[in-house]
């Protein structure tokens, strides 16, 4: 009984027989438990799915239903109620008598008793290192950011920013445990309650610091970025070649990113070399036998691409070199021969080999290369073997999941990240590039919005260019076919847009990963050409979803172009 109410003592004080009984209890529950977990026999554990990371415990009187995924060292103290779709990060400590309610009743029909009307569930997502006090209520749809604190007795109806301390009913920011990057102005940075709610929305008339004059901020950013574009390119130009970041070796992609950035911000080729010299070099890098572009060696020279579909080190170059040449008014001198020679059976076999269930991004990457190679070949009059392109699109149409609109499956370790990111890559290279409608666009919107509620991806300190682009582009692409959940899409875009504008470093551009005090020292946060090129595209898609893209004064024309490439 003592351990049921003080489970943190169990693995240090329980005897061997008690430990064996606990492990037998966990085996009988048939859920996924990490090492040194504890589940009280006095708890009511009725989950459809349950994962507890190492060192997590469920105390006496707790009531759990639905789907719960908890990281390491999470605590569900006595009489907690956790129901619906819930994700807890690492080291989430939940006080006694607290309720996390990841579902809700509907009441749309006044002639039907509430208990007979359908339930809805958006789920609750809690970040890492979060302390939730006793007698707290957190309602469906809420995301609580990393390192936040929820004071005892709070009723949380809106998202809690990372590092915030919130309390009250409804909960409001009281102070900051970890101040946000760049700080906040006004009372949001003080220890008093701010006027805005936890989602960042505020009353009419407040400034950009609080709710955001989005259009004005976008236009101001674009002016600053254009003024600094030359300096950003200069810092990455070394000995006649571009590097992604100072101190790194030249890469094929860096040359192409420089072309894209110059086109976006300056409307011309980089001024560091004559445009014809840049065209000549990119064309000379294509291997005439395979049609691929091999990687550059660190000491000079170039790797020879491997035959077949596709050399991993050379794959993305089909996209970036092809589009850089297109922006410079040229094209590959040769078709991508490994694709031109592939028949329908080889295409289908390649699609079937891809790790759709475990790594849908990798599978989508493969499809993106294939679709883009088909595009360049057709532009040159090389239509490939009969039925090959039809096999590609036919396979994708036949295998799209009607429930998600995507290919591949989610995973406990990262939720819907893989299928969403894989959808972006696969759809970009095929349906978007060829101007064809995607299957199940409404389900795509639903899936991306569900994914965007995952605290492991969407929090500002967790964002990177790939993951946010892979949210923005599918929503934009689906919007060309449907207005499904349009207000939610626009609201998400505005929030992500505010975050993205804050990731810029003057004179250097964007790092691939967003800067934050908790990520200091991560090389991915250092500004470079890849991060700058990708975030500039992300900004356009988000701004267009938010209805303010005109203020940017640019529209992607390369790898991330919104229009069909034909």
Residues designated catalytic: 105
With helix as H, strand as E and coil as C, how does 126-182 read? ECCCCEECCCCEECCCCEECCCCEECCCCEECCCECCCEEEECCCCEEEEECCCCCC
Torsion angle of C-alpha atoms 136, 140, 146, 150, degrees rounded to 10? -20
Helix (H) or strand (E) holding 11: helix 10-13
Within 10 A of 206 (CB to CB), how many other CB atoms are there? 15
Q: How far is CA 163 from the centre of its chain?
A: 20
Secondary structure (3-state) at 52: strand
Q: Are strands 155-156 and 32-33 parallel, antiparallel or unpaired?
A: unpaired
The two tokens of residue 56 are 């997590």
Within 10 A of 104 (CB to CB), how many other CB atoms are there? 14
Q: How many whole angstroms separate alpha carbon 48 and alpha carbon 402?
A: 23
The answer to whether the beta carbons of residues 45 and 39 sit under 8 Å apart is yes
Q: Are strands 237-238 and 241-242 parallel, antiparallel or unpaired?
A: antiparallel
The answer to whether the beta carbons of residues 377 and 339 sit under 8 Å apart is yes
Is residue 116 exposed (0-12), middle (13-18) or buried (19+ Cβ within 10 Å)? exposed
**In degrees rounded to 5, what are phi and psi of residue 256?**
-75, -40
With helix as H, strand as E and coil as C, how does 106-121 read? CCCCCCCCHHHCCEEC
**In degrees rounded to 5, what are phi and psi of residue 499?**
-60, -50
The answer to whether the beta carbons of residues 307 and 291 sit under 8 Å apart is no
Report H helices in 480-528: 486-501
The two tokens of residue 356 are 């759709």
The two tokens of residue 336 are 């991508």
Q: How far is CA 94 from the centre of its chain?
A: 27
Q: How many whole angstroms separate alpha carbon 80 and alpha carbon 56?
A: 14
The answer to whether the beta carbons of residues 377 and 388 sit under 8 Å apart is no
């Amino acid at each position: 009984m003592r351990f049921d109410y003080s489970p943190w003592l169990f693995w240090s004080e329980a005897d061997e027989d008690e430990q064996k009984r606990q492990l037998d209890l966990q085996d009988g529950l048939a859920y996924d438990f990490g090492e040194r977990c504890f589940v009280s026999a006095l708890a009511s554990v009725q989950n459809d799915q349950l994962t507890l990371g190492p060192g997590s415990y469920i105390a006496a009187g707790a009531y759990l239903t639905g789907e719960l995924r908890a990281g390491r060292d999470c605590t569900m103290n006595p009489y907690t109620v956790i129901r619906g779709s819930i994700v807890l990060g690492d080291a989430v400590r939940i006080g006694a008598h607290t309720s996390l309610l990841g579902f809700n009743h509907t009441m749309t029909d006044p002639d039907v008793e509430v208990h007979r009307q359908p339930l809805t569930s958006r789920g609750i997502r809690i970040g890492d290192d979060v302390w939730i006090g006793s007698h707290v209520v957190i309602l469906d749809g809420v995301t609580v950011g990393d390192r936040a604190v929820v004071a005892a007795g709070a009723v949380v109806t809106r998202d809690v920013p990372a590092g915030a301390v919130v309390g009250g009913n409804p909960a409001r920011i009281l102070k900051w445990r970890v101040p946000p990057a760049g700080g906040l102005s006004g009372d949001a940075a003080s220890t008093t309650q701010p006027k805005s709610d936890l989602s960042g929305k505020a009353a009419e008339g407040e400034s950009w610091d609080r709710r955001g004059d989005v259009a004005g901020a976008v236009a101001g950013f674009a002016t600053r970025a254009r003024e600094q574009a030359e300096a950003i390119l200069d810092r990455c130009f070394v000995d006649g070649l571009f590097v992604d970041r100072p101190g790194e070796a030249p890469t094929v992609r860096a040359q192409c990113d420089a072309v894209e950035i110059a086109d976006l911000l300056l409307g011309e080729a980089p001024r560091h070399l004559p445009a014809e010299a840049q065209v000549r070099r990119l064309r000379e890098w294509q291997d005439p036998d395979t049609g691929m572009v091999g990687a550059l060696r660190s000491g000079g020279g170039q790797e020879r691409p491997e035959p077949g579909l596709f050399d991993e080190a050379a794959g993305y170059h089909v996209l970036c070199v092809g589009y850089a040449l297109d922006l410079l008014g040229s094209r590959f001198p040769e078709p991508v021969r490994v694709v031109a020679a592939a028949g329908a059976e080889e295409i289908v076999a390649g699609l079937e080999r891809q790790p759709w269930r475990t790594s849908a991004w990798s599978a989508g990457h493969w499809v993106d290369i294939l679709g883009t190679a088909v595009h360049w070949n057709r532009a040159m009059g090389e239509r490939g073997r009969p039925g090959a392109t039809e096999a590609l699109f036919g396979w994708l149409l036949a295998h799209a999941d009607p429930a998600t609109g995507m290919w591949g499956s989610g995973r406990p370790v990262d939720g819907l990240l893989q299928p969403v990111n894989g959808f972006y890559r696969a759809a970009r290279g095929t349906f978007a590039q060829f101007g064809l409608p995607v299957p199940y666009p409404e389900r795509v919107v639903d899936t991306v919005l569900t994914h965007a509620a995952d605290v492991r991806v969407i929090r500002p300190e967790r964002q990177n260019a790939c993951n946010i682009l892979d949210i923005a582009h599918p929503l934009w692409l689906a919007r060309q076919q449907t207005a499904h959940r349009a207000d939610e899409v626009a609201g998400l875009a505005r929030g992500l847009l505010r975050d993205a504008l804050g990731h810029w470093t003057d004179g250097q551009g964007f790092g691939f990963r967003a800067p934050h005090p908790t990520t200091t020292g991560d090389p991915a946060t250092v500004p470079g050409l890849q991060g700058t090129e990708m975030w500039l595209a992300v900004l356009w898609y988000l701004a267009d979803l938010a209805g303010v893209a005109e203020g940017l004064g640019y529209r992607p024309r390369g790898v991330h172009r919104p229009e069909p490439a034909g």
